[in-house]
Each structure stands twice: as C-alpha cells, then as structure tokens.
Structure 1
Amino acid sequence: MNGRRLLPGLLALCLGALLARTLAGALGVNHLLLAIALGFVAANAVGIPDCLEPGIETHKLWLGTGIVLMGASISLETVLEVGGVVLLLVVGVTATTLLVVELLARNVFGLADRMGSLLAAGASICGVSAVVAVAGSIRAREEQIAYAAATVLLFDAVTIVVYPIVGDLLGLSGMVFGTWAGVSMFSTGPVVAVGFAHSEAAGQWATMTKLSRNALIGVVVLAYASYYARAAGDSRPSVLTLWDEFPKFVLGFLALAVVASAGVLSSAQLASIENAYNWLFVVAFAGLGTEIRLADLRTTGWTPAVVVLIALLASSALSLAALVLLF
C-alpha cells in the first residue's frame, strides 16, 4: 500500500495517543482506556474521514508488534510455575464456551447452524478475527458475518467497561485479574487494554492467556471446515489450515521471551523495549476505539446477543471462581 495513503491516518493515531497520555495524567485515568474512548468519540460523534481510514486500519499491526515486544518483559520461570494450570483453564473454558453457544444457538434459540458457529468461534477464541477466519472456511453468508461481528464488538465494548470495575470491587490480584480477562473476554485488544489498566502484572498475564486462546484458532477453523465440508459432501481441508490461521505474532512473543530470559538483553535495553510497547499499545488502542460504531451495534438482533451474553456470564463466573480457588 502507498505510504502516502497511510500517513494521514498514522498521524491521527499518533496524535490520539499523545492526547490520551496527556489527558490521562491530568484526569487521573488510565491512558489505554482513555485512548479507546477518544477513538470511540471520534468515530461516533465526528466521523472518520476517508483519507484517514487506511492509516487507522494499521492499528492491528501496532498491537501485534507491541505484543511481540512485550515478550521481553515476561519471566518464563513464573509462567512455567503456573502455566500448566492456566493452559488447562484456557482449553476448558474455550471448549465449554464454544459448546454452550452452539447448543443455545441451534437447540434453544433456533439460529441457523452457520450463524451459531460464527458466534461460538467469536466468543470462545478471539472475537471478530475468529468470526472472519471461520466464516471463510464454512462459506457463511455476508449478513451472518456482519451480525456475528457486530455482536462480538458489542460485548467488547461492554467488557472494556465492566471488567475493570469488577476487578476493583473484588480486589483481584494482577495474576488472577489478568488471567480472568484473558480466558473469558473476546478480542485481543480489549483484553490487553483492561489488563494493563489494572496493573503491569495483570497486563502480562492477560496477554499470555489470550495468546494461548488465540493459538487454538487453527484447530477450531479446521474442525469447523471439516464438519461443514463433510455435511456438504466435499473433500476435507488440508492440515495446512492450522498454519494458515495460526497467529504468527505469538511466535515472535515466545522468541523474545526466551531471549530475555537468557539474560542477553541489558536493563537499559529492556527499559527501552518496555517504553516502545507501551507507546505502541496506546497508538493501537486509539485505532481500536474507532472500530466500535454505534450504528453497527444497533443493527445487532437481540437473539445473537442473548446467546452470547449467557455464554459470557457462564464462562466469566466459572473461570473467576476457579481462579480464586486455585490462586
């Protein structure tokens, strides 16, 4: 893509990040959540000019880059101590959420099979990214994709507000809150935002837990593709689907975590990397806020929202209870 087309939007993201940092210090609020709020206000109260759209859409790239750099601040020793329990929780909650949404959508609320599958993928794995990935493998209709994506975005907007409040009211530790957010919220951006809004430790655990869920997307896409292909009498998809859908930035995150844990990086270098990913997150979240459009959320039917709400309440309550008991 032409760099000149990206430049106006990139400047807008940088200005949004600077404004969020400045106002956060004056107002005493978290700068990451404020960046999302500024993007939301800009998109819904003013509107985003067409000339800014290409550059603003790069916010996912900056989020992924920030996550990779954050690997340098992770202690592999700490992760290995409790990682097995967290991984089991991730797999258990993911599988339970997927099955609950599928059963409710098909057997209770009578939604179309493909619609239920899109909602299940979005709620159990990684939000809109999972909706889009699964949609391509099961040949879902465009209106089904739009409804499922809008439903996921609705709950992204809600959980960004509700989770920090619940975490403060219950006095959750950074590890418990971050893991809870990572295992039960939908999209990666909101998870990272609420995690770091709580504390540095919560942000790290939220990111690691969410990356573990994201890594399951290839398996889920392959399973859905196989199911619908078999139902239609088509040939089964290749195992290469696993690699095609696997979020590659997870590998960068792990690689940098290994390098940092080996003691290769100096304290000055680690401080520079931390400053870099903190700024990348603010830039990314300013762009994330522009994706939450009220007009799109109003088009969401109540039935998909009720299905996802029930699943979210169940997974959120059960995972939080398990974490409090375990840690």
Structure 2
Amino acid sequence: MSTQPKPFTIHEDWTVVILGFIIIGISLFIFLPEVPVFSWSNSTDLTAKVFDFNNLKILFIQFIYLISIGTFGAFLIGKSVKYFLFTFPIVYVLTLIALILAGNSAIKSINLEAVIFSLLIGLAIGNFFKLPDWFRLALSTEVFVKIGLVLLGTSVIFSDILKAGSLGLIQALIVVLSVWYFAFWLCKKLKVDDELTMMISSAVSICGVSAAIATSGAIKGDSKKLSYVISIVLVTAIPMMIFMPIIAKYFNFPEEVTGAWLGGSIDTSGAVVASGTLVGETALKISTIVKFSQNVLLGIAAFAISVYWTYTHNKSGETLESKPTLNVIWERFPKFVIGFIAASIVFSFFVAPETRDAVKDSLKNLQGLWFALAFTSIGLETNFKDLLQNNSKKPFIAFLIAQLFNIIITLIIAFLLFSK
C-alpha cells in the first residue's frame, strides 16, 4: 500500500502553538484539570496521598487529557498516531515515577526537580536497553517541550518580556556573534570539516539542537554529522543544566544574572527551563526570555549561513535560482516563540486577574508535566555511545572548548546587563 503525504500536515512549530492554545482555551472555557498530589514524606504518606483513589483518578483523567492532545499533535505533523499511542503511555508512566520521586520531602529539601529524575530514568533505559528505532522516532521531545514553553507564556507578564527582552536581545547579539566566530575559528584551527564547523558554531552559540537542525537545512548537511552534533549538544547540556545552578547558588549570583547566564549559555530550551526551575521563579522567567531572544536570531542566522554557504561552496552547474532568498528567515524562524508571546499578551491584557488566578495552578501543573515528559523522552533517545562512533575527537573537543568560552563570556555579559 502506498503512503501519500497528508495534505493537512502542519509544521511542528505551528502545531505546538495550536496545541498550546487548545489547552489554554480548554482551561479558560471548558475544563480545568485538577492538580494531582505528588508530595509525600514516608511510605504511609505515599499510600495515603499519592496512591489515594481520588488522586489516582485525577492522574488517569490527566493521562487521557494529555494523550488526546498529543495524539492530535502527532496527527497534525504527520507522525504515526499508532506508534505515538504505544509509546506515550510508557513515557507517561516513567514520568509519573520521576514526579513521585521528586515529590519526596527529603528530595525537595535539596532542590532536585522532577525533570532531573525524568532525564535520569530516560537515560538509564535508553543506554542500558536497546530501544527499537520506531520507538525512538515516535518520541515527541520537541513537541512536548515547546507546548510547555507556550504554556509558560501564560505566567510571564508582558511588561517583563519587554524589559528583560531588550536586555536579552543585546546579550544575545553579543554572545551569538562572539561565540559563533570563536567556535568557527577554533574548528578551522583544529581542521574540523566545513559542515561540522558550521553546525557546531551555530549549535554552541545560538540555541543548540534547533540551531544545528536549521544550519544543516541551510547548508544541506549530512544527517549523520547532524546527529553527531545533536548528541554532543544533549550530552553536554546535562551537566551544565545540573551544575551551573549549583555554581550560581554557591557564589550567590543574583537570580536575574543567573537566569541570563543560563539562558545565554545552555544550548537547549528544555535544559534552560530545567536549570532555571532549579534556581527560582525569577531565574526561570529571565532564562526563558533570554533564550527566546537568541531563538529570534535563529532565522536571521540561518539566512546568513545559507548565503555564506551558497557563495563559498557553490557547486558547478548551480544557477542563480539555487541562491537563498529572504523566505529562509521566515522558514527558519521558531514559530513557537510567537505562541509564547501571544499567550503572554492574552494573559497580560485580555484575561481578568481573578480568572488568571483561578487557572494559574492548573496551567503551571500542565506546563511542568510537558517539560517532564520531554526530559523523559530526551533521556530515552540519547545514547552516550553515539559520541564514540565518530573516529575523530576533534569536533567534540572543539565543541567543549567553545562551550567553555560561551559560559565565561555569557556570565560576564549577564553581570554587566542584569546585575542591579
């Protein structure tokens, strides 16, 4: 039986905007999901609170709600609904285990969030068990994290975006330009091939996986090289996500500075959110806004890279028709940023304060759930062996040195711009 591409397939970024606003609309006008209990201190507490019949009922309704949204999303972007329906319950159960572990009072006292347990559980399974390719392909990591980011917009006041966003854009411009050029220069010095050089430079300076994917698309890069860069990004993001908040707390960095530092240097949006959550509400908001400021530059960067690549690697026989156009900016622009800003505008100007207060906890719970689901998926799809399959260690070394430069320069700029 031949498979025809679906005529109604929607781009992933537009899909998450649609799904995010469906969730917001349901919460405002139709149904407000109850927030389940995960807090417990001992085995008796665990049975009485978390495994209470009413709480289990809330969790089951939540599962039906999330799998319905996720299935609709898989349908819209053209992924296999059958495989999604098989994989999602597994990801959801693993995520519930993480949420229950994080709900323990002793764990809470040392500020370990659910996303860390989600990640560790996923990594343990993904690295010690061979998962079938279809299972990994059915994971919807980017969709989950971007839905969470759209929902995060409901808790960010628009005036804060304008205030921090202007500073974030200044920081993003300085960081992206300086780090990209340093990474590019370093890769050339280490004789890393041109395709990997472009992907590494963009990934380390702009926004990790999304930038690597956009750059690979702009230069029509090798998918194996792209996979290698993505593996490096994901693996290095894990220790950065955990240890940078610890360093910030040890040296008593202001939350605004910490947020700007995390948002400007950690390469994946999900890891930025997780690390910001470990520090506090202010750091979470600032880190997200700063990361979005860098994301906004992604379309412009992809266009500039495609122009550079076309004119420096123009193969014989190509005509002017193959030259890049301004449409590349719009094609590469991360559309979920529009969803985040739109959600913020709606909740800042069009939702009454009492309504906002009524739905706040439920939406925050859903936002946290999507992030936790995303990190379970990241763990499941990340295999440390991927880094060892490439014979040359030079790209990995270049990425690590460039990332260290990124961490230092971003911290300096964060202090200059965000310190009171």
TM-score between both structures, scaled by the size of structure 1: 0.92
- Aligned-partner residue type, residue 21 of structure 1: L
Counterpart of 1:15 in structure 2 is: 93
1:135 paired with 2:216, answer: yes
For residues 288 and 175 of structure 1, what CA distance do their matches in structure 2 show? 27
- Aligned-partner residue type, residue 289 of structure 2: M
Partner of 1:215: helix, strand, or coil? helix
Q: Deviations over 1:289-321 (max 9, x none)?
A: 223211112235321122222222222112212
1:287 paired with 2:377, answer: yes
1:316 paired with 2:407, answer: yes
- Structure with greater contact order relative to length (CA < 8 Å, sep ≥ 6): 1
Alpha-carbon deviation of 1:242?
A: 0.9
Contact residue 165 and residue 290 of structure 2 kept, 8 A: no
For residues 175 and 79 of structure 1, what CA distance do their matches in structure 2 show? 13
For residues 301 and 407 of structure 2, what CA distance do their matches in structure 1 show? 21
1:240 paired with 2:240, answer: no
Contact residue 6 and residue 54 of structure 1 kept, 8 A: no
Partner of 2:415: helix, strand, or coil? helix
1:43 paired with 2:126, answer: yes
TM-score between both structures, scaled by the size of structure 2: 0.73
For residues 312 and 168 of structure 1, what CA distance do their matches in structure 2 show? 21
Alignment coverage as a number of residue pairs: 325
Partner of 1:144: helix, strand, or coil? helix
**Greater C-alpha radius of gyration:** 2
Q: Deviations over 1:264-300 (max 9, x none)?
A: 1411122322221111111111111223211112235
Change (3 A) 1:308 1:246: same
Match of 1:229 among 305, 310, 318: 310
Change (3 A) 1:268 1:242: same
Alpha-carbon deviation of 1:2?
A: 4.1
For residues 153 and 275 of structure 1, what CA distance do their matches in structure 2 show? 25
Counterpart of 2:397 in structure 1 is: 306
Counterpart of 2:39 in structure 1 is: none
Change (3 A) 1:249 1:104: same
Q: Deviations over 1:8-60 (max 9, x none)?
A: 211111112211110112250211111111111110123334564344x2121
Match of 1:145 among 206, 226, 240: 226
Partner of 1:220: helix, strand, or coil? helix
Partner of 2:151: helix, strand, or coil? helix
Counterpart of 1:169 in structure 2 is: 250
Q: Which runs of 5+ in 2 are unaligned?
A: 1-78
Counterpart of 2:60 in structure 1 is: none
Partner of 1:262: helix, strand, or coil? helix
Structure with greater proportional helix content: 1
Stretch of structure 1 that moved more, 291-300 or 121-130? 291-300
Contact residue 204 and residue 406 of structure 2 kept, 8 A: no
Stretch of structure 1 that moved more, 277-286 or 310-319? 310-319
1:34 paired with 2:117, answer: yes
For residues 249 and 387 of structure 2, what CA distance do their matches in structure 1 show? 28
Contact residue 174 and residue 202 of structure 1 kept, 8 A: yes
Counterpart of 1:261 in structure 2 is: 348
Partner of 1:238: helix, strand, or coil? coil
Partner of 2:191: helix, strand, or coil? coil
Contact residue 8 and residue 51 of structure 1 kept, 8 A: no
Counterpart of 1:63 in structure 2 is: 145
Partner of 2:267: helix, strand, or coil? coil
Partner of 1:216: helix, strand, or coil? helix
Q: Deviations over 1:113-137 (max 9, x none)?
A: 2221111011111212222221122
1:194 paired with 2:275, answer: yes
RMSD between superposed Cα atoms in Å: 1.9
Alpha-carbon deviation of 1:263?
A: 5.0
Contact residue 205 and residue 406 of structure 2 kept, 8 A: no
For residues 24 and 198 of structure 1, what CA distance do their matches in structure 2 show? 16
Alpha-carbon deviation of 1:245?
A: 1.1
Identical columns (%) = 27
For residues 154 and 5 of structure 1, what CA distance do their matches in structure 2 show? 26
For residues 172 and 104 of structure 1, what CA distance do their matches in structure 2 show? 30
Q: Which runs of 5+ in 1 are unaligned?
A: none
For residues 212 and 165 of structure 2, what CA distance do their matches in structure 1 show? 27
Alpha-carbon deviation of 1:163?
A: 1.5
Counterpart of 2:166 in structure 1 is: 84
For residues 405 and 197 of structure 2, what CA distance do their matches in structure 1 show? 17
For residues 161 and 270 of structure 1, what CA distance do their matches in structure 2 show? 27
Q: Deviations over 1:209-258 (max 9, x none)?
A: 11221121111111111112122164321111111111111001000101
Counterpart of 1:270 in structure 2 is: 360
For residues 2 and 83 of structure 1, what CA distance do their matches in structure 2 show? 37
